[in-house]
Homo-oligomer: A and B are copies of this chain.
Amino acid sequence: MAVGELVLPEFNLIKGLRIGTASAGIKKQGRKDLVIFELAEGSTTAGVFTLNAFCAAPVQVAREHLQTTAPRYWVINTGNANAGTGALGLVAAKQTCAAVAELTEVTAQAVLPFSTGVIGEPLPMQRLVEALPQALATLSEAGWADAATGIMTTDTLPKGATASCIINGEKVVLSGVAKGAGMIKPNMATMLGFIATDATIAQPLLKQLLKEATDQSFNRITIDGDTSTNDSCMLVATSQSANISAEDLVAVAAFRDCLVSLMQTLALSIVRDGEGATKFVTIHVEQAASSAEALEAAFTVAHSPLVKTALYASDANWGRILAAVGRARGLENLDVNGVTVYLGDVLLVEQGGRAASYTEVAGAAVMKQEEITLRIQLGRGQIQETVWTCDFSHDYVSINADYRS
């Protein structure tokens, strides 16, 4: 069902990082639903987490542990989000860490827990804990593809990306996996991302790089505007290859470009596999007075159910696009006569109305494609921003109306 090709890459292996998977039977029997990442001693780790006030127990615990100890294990379960589970949920997340710690002889604080799936059901601790030895027994540098599959929920396809760059003459590699599908919105929606590099990067710089790259990738995508309680994106540097110091601006820039590119690939994979998606849509907002208003306009269009259903219907309904721009917050003094909209390369709107040169035939030719680019020029300044989204289909309703049953 995903839009475009989604094929796992040949992952670059990351020295100092091993991945194991197991079937704990958390929601369904037989599927790989437990994934463990083992990070070599000396690794540095950074994380970004959901901004939702209602954040899940594992997010609270992961954030807390990350502040005290350099992580050695990430343990991820699907099938159950351990969110909305109150004090018992916190106990369960900590028990998970303690169980891994006992099996691996690290401290519980060196383990970060991640969960995704149904909200509000107690985490089936016994089944989870019983499957941990199996996951640890399969630890391997080659576990990336299994990890990509193991963290899926309503995703139809696994998502991964791999990259490399040369830093001061030395090859540095990166690999990452992500999951998404629904509840995707800026500021970390229901998505998990696990990214690793073999480079050597001090924690403060790693944290800054992850933040910057997240703003250019996961925080620029939306499926339905709903954000989740569990979103987390982790980045580990295993300190096995080139050192990247904050002072070496050329090295930092080269690595950042590589990281942004990899994270955008993961983020766009999530949009391509959005729940029920039949179209992959890029929204450029240009000529904005500020980045904030460009993003506000772009996301208002991207979230509009009327725009999204028109995209689903391959209907070049530019009136709905303008109506969405017109209600974006912070654009109250917008002069609609200054707004220009391109659909692909076709001029659709100028001076507040349909362009004189526009024809339904030209618009329909763009709309029937699987990948559509909207370019909205506000005529208010020089700033531009891009977000990526998908359409709103009958299948979106079906998937989300049936999810718990």
Contact between A397 and B400 (Cβ–Cβ < 8 Å)?
no
**How far apart are A215's CB and chain B's nearest CB, in angstroms?**
18
Cα-based distance from A319 to B87 in the complex (angstroms): 16
Asked if A119 meets B323 with Cβ closer than 8 Å, knowing A84-B352, A225-B305, A226-B304, the reply is yes
Q: Is A142 in the interface zone, CB < 8 Å from B?
A: no
Residues from chain B with Cβ under 8 Å of A339 in the complex: 54
Contact between A225 and B119 (Cβ–Cβ < 8 Å)?
no
Residues from chain B with Cβ under 8 Å of A402 in the complex: 313
Asked if A397 meets B392 with Cβ closer than 8 Å, knowing A84-B322, A183-B323, the reply is yes
Q: Is A118 in the interface zone, CB < 8 Å from B?
A: yes
Q: Is A379 in the interface zone, CB < 8 Å from B?
A: no
Cα-based distance from A403 to B55 in the complex (angstroms): 39
Residues from chain B with Cβ under 8 Å of A398 in the complex: 394
Q: Is A15 in the interface zone, CB < 8 Å from B?
A: no
Give the contacts of A299-357 with B (CB-CB under 8 A).
Answer: 303-306, 309-310, 312-313, 315, 317-320, 322-327, 331-334, 336-337, 339, 349, 351-354
**How far apart are A274's CB and chain B's nearest CB, in angstroms?**
12
Q: Is A124 in the interface zone, CB < 8 Å from B?
A: no
Contact between A55 and B225 (Cβ–Cβ < 8 Å)?
no
Q: 1/0 per position for A280-314, CB-CB distance to B under 8 A?
A: 00000000000000000000000111100110110
Contact between B354 and A84 (Cβ–Cβ < 8 Å)?
yes
Contact between A83 and B319 (Cβ–Cβ < 8 Å)?
yes
Residues from chain B with Cβ under 8 Å of A84 in the complex: 318-319, 322, 349, 352-354
Q: Is A373 in the interface zone, CB < 8 Å from B?
A: no
Residues from chain B with Cβ under 8 Å of A53 in the complex: 325-327, 331-334, 336
**How far apart are A104's CB and chain B's nearest CB, in angstroms?**
30
Give the contacts of A158-201 with B (CB-CB under 8 A).
Answer: 182-183, 185
Q: Is A405 in the interface zone, CB < 8 Å from B?
A: yes
Contact between A319 and B81 (Cβ–Cβ < 8 Å)?
yes
**How far apart are A1's CB and chain B's nearest CB, in angstroms?**
16
Cα-based distance from A319 to B84 in the complex (angstroms): 6
Contact between A315 and B401 (Cβ–Cβ < 8 Å)?
yes
Contact between A323 and B86 (Cβ–Cβ < 8 Å)?
no
**How far apart are A93's CB and chain B's nearest CB, in angstroms?**
13
Q: Is A78 in the interface zone, CB < 8 Å from B?
A: no
Nearest chain-B residue to A306 (Cβ)? B226
**How far apart are A402's CB and chain B's nearest CB, in angstroms?**
7
Q: Is A224 in the interface zone, CB < 8 Å from B?
A: yes
**How far apart are A386's CB and chain B's nearest CB, in angstroms?**
22
Q: 1/0 per position for A107-127, CB-CB distance to B under 8 A?
A: 000000000001110000000
Cα-based distance from A120 to B348 in the complex (angstroms): 11
